[in-house]
Amino acid sequence: MARKDKLSTPRGSGGGSGYDADAFARFAESVARFFGTGRYLAMQTLFVIVWIAINAYVAVTQGSKHTFDPYPFILLNLLFSTQAAYAAPLILLAQNRQADRDKQEVERDRETTARSLAETEFLARELAAVRLMLEQKADRDDLIQPLSELTQAIERLQGVQLVAEDSDEADTASDPSEYPGS
């Protein structure tokens, strides 16, 4: 058996489809974008004016029997109807594609918002923990009483006064020669 049969692909096919839905959707978006431009409106208006002018010129010079689209311009209306019949689905396809992109963007925004909220809550908890730690930190007022008790205990043990009680004694106690062992 020279050829291996692949049951996943039918005979005669190259294995892949020739239809790319995404490519067609991109084409539909480009057409829909073009239909919404001033350039398209100007070209359409110019086309209608030229169509009517040619028909009017032929009617005046050769008679109304020789025009390719006489006055009610049924052929022109048929062209516009055909154009609208194709344009409407293309525009709807482009809108659906845009709606899908908008949904994806909303979902990404929702995820980003959820991450931001989680980070904000984490930072708020960390800030609260820092505040609690700061409240438990010993400050100057918390240390004055134990230090004064410790100083008094050392003074009793050594029999020396380390801290001056009055402002007069504070002035004389600032002289280093008055401390024992100096």
Sorted by where each begins, the domain ranges of the chain are 21-136
* CB-based contact 155:161 (threshold 8 Å): yes
Residues 6 or more apart from 170 whose CB is under 8 A from it? 164
Note the pLDDT tens digit of each residue in 4-43.
Answer: 666 766 666 555 566 777 888 888 889 888 988 899 999 9
Average pLDDT rounded to a whole number, residues 129-145? 85
Note the pLDDT tens digit of each residue in 37-91.
Answer: 899 999 999 999 999 999 889 888 887 777 888 888 899 999 999 999 999 998 8
Confidence of residue 182 (pLDDT cuts 50, 70, 90): very low
pTM of the entire structure? Answer: 0.50
Residues 6 or more apart from 180 whose CB is under 8 A from it? 158, 160
| CA pair distance 34, 28, nearest whole angstrom | 10
